[in-house]
Structure 1
Amino acid sequence: MFMKNTIVGMVAAAAFAWGSAAVAQEESSNRVAAETDWSVFVEDDPTQCWVVSTPSETLNTRDGREVSVRRGEILMFVSFWPGQDRLGEVSFTGGYPFADGSTVSVEIGDSTFELFTEGEMAWAASPQDDQRIITAMKRGAEAVLTARSSRGTQTQDTFSLMGFTAAVEDAEARCSG
């Protein structure tokens, strides 16, 4: 329950930062830095840090045809939870409930990774997978996440990785202990 509430808080804070006006970005109380396409957030009690970005491009298809669908916030995170010894956890929210038992494919350059899904969230299976994904993100130009909604829509969200390395290193330094 703690994790789900914290994720909801992270999504809300990130959504606030990406509000319709640039002023909203500057007013978010826990947004501490912005590095090109990635923002750094910090919570103090308990200490948590995360980097987050929105997609630069989205494509929604059903039966091979592009479709218009309503989706909630679409965000990719890397989180640091020092009190829970979870450092560098990769997660994604697609703005809809994922199909039961489905996975999210993450393509970065020549590498492909899988995230497991639960509800509207997806995570890497292990801390080792998180580290492999982060390493690829630091080296890559973009991450393409492909998923399937509970209604059968295939989604493809492209995230720019410009500024990712600086943002994730900032968050890690702020929450290293």
Structure 2
Amino acid sequence: MFHSIKKLVLGATFALAATVAFAQESSNQVASNTDWYVFQEGTQCWAVSKPKETVNTDSSGRIKSVRRGEVLMFVSYAPSTGIKGQVSFAGGYPFAGGSEVTLEIGGTKFALFTENETAWAVTPEDDAKIVAAMKRGAAASLSGHSARGTYTKDTFSLLGFTASVEDAAKRCGG
């Protein structure tokens, strides 16, 4: 089952990569709710946010200066591809092969699988659990490590999350 879900999610990788690039330059922002934004392109919508805090360290825990691409957290809706509330994280660097990203919300941890620069929940059921936790939480922290050995922790505010994700779902059939 994991492989079929991974195949579906990886098929959306190109759409997500385009979404990341698009979100950076888009004039299709349709809503703003504190720290979260809603974008829409046709029947595809997403709630997106940038981290409030980023910490990069080496394997010994020492602060490390690194260059990363755009770091974003998404909840996507694309009914034509069956995506409804898909949680993803663009880490801004290639993740270490076979590694996981740990998402923590209010003391609850979720494991996200990685592929290149993106991490996702394993199943749609996990997506739903994460979205529910995000609606109840105040912050979400994602910890991962790069192919070059850098450890990262990105913390996102969840202020405005519920309004943004509900708006995206309403607009795009979630």
Tell me whether 1:43 sits opposite 2:52 in the alignment.
no
Q: CA deviation at 1:14?
A: 2.0
CA distance in structure 1 between the aligned counterparts of 2:111 and 2:87, rounded to whole angstroms: 11
Query: Which residue number in structure 2 is paired with residue 7 of structure 1?
Result: 16
TM-score for both structures, normalised by structure 1:
0.89
Query: What value does the CA root-mean-square deviation take over the aligned residues?
Result: 1.2
Structure 1 segment 99-114 matched on structure 2, within 5 A: 99-114=96-111
Tell me whether 1:146 sits opposite 2:155 in the alignment.
no
Partner of residue 84 from structure 1, selected from 78, 81, 97: 81
Counterpart of 2:22 in structure 1: which amino acid? A
Structure 1 segment 57-68 matched on structure 2, within 5 A: 57-62=53-58, 63-68=60-65
Local SS of the residue matching 1:145: strand
Partner of residue 34 from structure 1, selected from 32, 35, 52: 32
Structure 2 gaps, min length 5? 1-9
Query: Which residue number in structure 1 is paired with residue 115 of structure 2?
Result: 118
CA distance in structure 1 between the aligned counterparts of 2:155 and 2:21, rounded to whole angstroms: 21
CA distance in structure 2 between the aligned counterparts of 1:70 and 1:173, rounded to whole angstroms: 36
TM-score for both structures, normalised by structure 2:
0.91
CA distance in structure 2 between the aligned counterparts of 1:123 and 1:2, rounded to whole angstroms: 12
Q: CA deviation at 1:12?
A: 1.2
Tell me whether 1:156 sits opposite 2:153 in the alignment.
yes
Counterpart of 2:16 in structure 1: which amino acid? I
Counterpart of 1:11 in structure 2: which amino acid? V
Residues 2 and 107 of structure 1: CA distance in aligned 2, closer, same or farther (over 3 Å)? closer
CA distance in structure 1 between the aligned counterparts of 2:126 and 2:77, rounded to whole angstroms: 15
* Percent of matched pairs sharing the same residue: 59
Partner of residue 174 from structure 1, selected from 168, 171, 174: 171
Q: CA deviation at 1:2?
A: 5.8
Counterpart of 1:98 in structure 2: which amino acid? F
Local SS of the residue matching 2:12: helix
CA distance in structure 2 between the aligned counterparts of 1:102 and 1:2, rounded to whole angstroms: 20
CA distance in structure 2 between the aligned counterparts of 1:151 and 1:114, rounded to whole angstroms: 21
Tell me whether 1:93 sits opposite 2:90 in the alignment.
yes
Alignment length (residue pairs): 164
Q: CA deviation at 1:106?
A: 0.4
CA distance in structure 2 between the aligned counterparts of 1:99 and 1:128, rounded to whole angstroms: 25
Counterpart of 1:94 in structure 2: which amino acid? G
CA distance in structure 2 between the aligned counterparts of 1:93 and 1:52, rounded to whole angstroms: 11
Deviations along 1:92-149, one digit per CA (max 9) or x if unpaired, are 0110000000000000002100110000000000000000000000000000000000
